[in-house]
Amino acid sequence: MEYLSKEGYDKLVRELHELERIELPKVIEAIAEARDKGDLSENFEYHAAKRQQGRLLSKIRFKQRVLEYARVVNTDQLSADVVGLLTQIELTNLGNNTRMSYTIVNPHEANLREAKLSIKSPIAQALLGKKEGDVVKVKVPAGIQQFRIERIEMKG
């Protein structure tokens, strides 16, 4: 089961639609054009287009599988008292006294540029179930860091 936000689910549906309706027909057309050029055994364009088709079909199957098992999380039923999926948290790194804000999301939605932290990341795993004011020690590649949870609110 894959739990996604409504936004994440819609994005996956859009990506799948684009792959199936726009990208795949382009690749099929490229294969047909390359095939028309003659001998396939030495036709680089044909083999490149076939490899691209394979990668594209793999992406399509992966997204179809994710969507097949996806469930959109109803944020009305989630608690904003503890850190969990789709909670937005504000943390203070006690080592350097910097504040940061993240939303805990499904790994398929994770994007650090958008401050979306995968629920499977070490930091999120350490924070799950914790409350405002709790201090959490997290083992990260740089060593052990301590974070204080300043604020928790439900995203969405």
DSSP string, 93-131: ETTTTEEEEEEEE-TTT-BGGGTEEETTSHHHHHHTT-B
CA angle at 7 for the pair 59 and 27, rounded to the nearest 5°:
25
Confidence of residue 39 (pLDDT cuts 50, 70, 90): confident
Prediction pTM value: 0.72
pLDDT at 156: 58
Note whether 67 and 82 are within 8 A (CB): no
Cβ(78)–Cβ(87) below 8 Å? yes
Identify which of 53, 67, 73, 55 has the alpha carbon closest to the alpha carbon of residue 16: 67
* Cβ(151)–Cβ(133) below 8 Å: no
CA 32 distance to own-chain centroid: 34
User: 5-14, pLDDT tens digit by residue?
Assistant: 888 899 999 9
Q: Could you tell me if 23 and 92 are in contact, meaning their C-beta atoms sit under 8 angstroms apart?
A: no
Please give the Cα distance from 30 to 77 (Å, whole number): 48
